[in-house]
Structure 1
């Protein structure tokens, strides 16, 4: 019989986990609580930790996060989402933010009780990111503002203060560029495929159409047309095929015999010409043999004694000097957001790498000594022959090697965008 827990937060956490499974319509969903960033990977959902004190902010954040992730699990189809996903970074961020807003808006329509909880979650995130103090559009992320606007238009609910501030900074620009497209929001909200097309049109209106990539619907039409063309070719016989030749042969057997004889002669002539060419190559004098390819160039011509000429013009600037703490926190949160879908795989790979990098501890012993630790493995021979002296062993000193890992990240202009994000995630 299990001992009852003395943590007053456990009943709440258990009830919230069961309610989350019901809202997500997945009884096999695994709900856990962690200090790590909240998120969902497959059938595993991670919610913010609730302490023993169970403060009001902790409870509201846990409930809002649980409702938001449950709505995303219920209304989101990964295959459809991947089919219409853009290829560019900004376009993909806009696409992801609008899809998240769609799932939360669908939850607010079907289960109105989730709307207030998700509002509390959005308000806590906006406060943590410092959105209340932003006064310029350049400081407010466009994808976040677009997601807030989609949720506001779909539900009609006012947003928390910080989120509303970000939305209003970009609202004029978004409605000016994509106002006509946004009028069709209600018609596409319940159909993820239609909403994905709607989101791609909004992204195009905002000026990021070059990051959308190929139209997935056009690709499907081309594949279907190609399949139909291939089927028609298989069903229709070739007008110049074997059937016509067989009919001609039956109608005029003498002409067919002449054609076979001509083709046989042509085959013989071709073989003779090939033999002559091979003979010429075989009898080629040794002096006229084909030239061998030149040897490959050396891998490097650098001087092994090369040293830096002068470090006088080198400059080192700390990240704190290039951006204020609020900006660094915002960038860190953006990186955590990109890391969230890969958190499970990254954790497993990190543990695997840690085991590989650990120094091997090979223990060794010296046996058959006159003093030390009694060797229990050799007591049997003492029992068999009492005159045999006792055997002792001593552990041999082993010098363990330390492991040093150095990461060098290229942050040049060619790494801008997704490459540097992947490098940061790996680090």
Structure 2
């Protein structure tokens, strides 16, 4: 599975797992990004090793089991009780967390046999992988494996395989006298989190001391092949793991944004403007750009008509269109009752709703015209032009908009702020410029020359994404259609140096996250198209594409599949 296909799989999996967590836990703010659970924008750490998946995992059943396990955590684990008993030692803390997860899977899942089967299958799969790894060949590995499997079996009542029992027998017998009391108590106290936590913490500390003794012995024996830290790689939080594929857009919470109750501020709108992008390009240069775009698109041999048929199937929806008369079944047509009296054998006296499938959809593409996007402008122009043409052929209303700033480093807005004595917390401190490449009431054929302005490098400066998404969504709301989709094309997080200088690094990013949530709540399907970057930090549904490579037809079909995620029947 290539990066794009894996991104599509992960996107759909995240949607389904997020729904499962919300249904089980009742936490409406829970959602998944790249297989990780978030409450709003805060990552929920996962320490239990069997609930951590490798980045290239492609099995939905594993993701669903992780979702079920984390949902049980949100539902039935009191965080206050958990923290009160939690050991300070890192290794003991990891073991303690695992013991708590086992308790939840043994008790909270009792009323949901499907959930219980999922989490048990996930643990067995993890145990099988550990059993066949090189870690099991060390005394540290076998000790850790024995404790974890024994606790899981005692607390959940799950049976171990014969091979596992044979493997653990000697180590378990040697530890019975030292930790047997705790193992018995865990089973008995599993329905009382407070009492269970005290025993679990005591057991975790005992095992941690045994592991430390084994590691010290290894060092005395100068065994260079044994790396104690590697042993615990299966227990570390996923935040410490590198990810394959595209980098994830950086994100964080703005302190300034939070201090003002998530209220976004603008120092001045005096210099803000909306203008036709083509008006900033000489006609001769615009024609040259258009010719270059046509040549680039012709060399790719992309089937625009085939792509249009795909979009038509994706966006069409049934609509009533009057009546079909003279039918043999349906609703009795009162106008032909006299005909029934005259000809009792006549059967075509009914009418039916006439339903046809129409496309009643608007799609707006919002292009990030920040400086870093210049290098992608040529391939982006072909990508956007092809999408607009195919969508138009499918009967979709389309707009191509852009956003940039009127100047670098704040421009006139920054100078006004300085002249006024640099008042505190000015908010956005630059002059924004919103661009119209193609408007909704203009066909692709009439706008094809204006679209070529995408290649004008002078347009690309800095970007205030949140206000641009708000502007584009407001334009979408004005269109008389039933369904609306906003595609944001960007290669990074919001960036305006002046605004960041007077606020903090995540001021604009926090506003973007807020605007995206509000836009989705209004019924607009918002999609992020990341240019060499995973935008899932800002857009719940997103796709990362690589424009360093030549555009292939598969890219367009991956985009179509991404859009299909918001239009399931």
Which has the higher Rg, Structure 1 or Structure 2?
A: 1
- TM-score (normalised: structure 1): 0.42
Larger relative contact order (C-alpha < 8 A, sep ≥ 6)? 2
Comparing both structures, which one devotes a greater share of its residues to strand? 2
Whose helix proportion is higher, 1 or 2?
A: 1
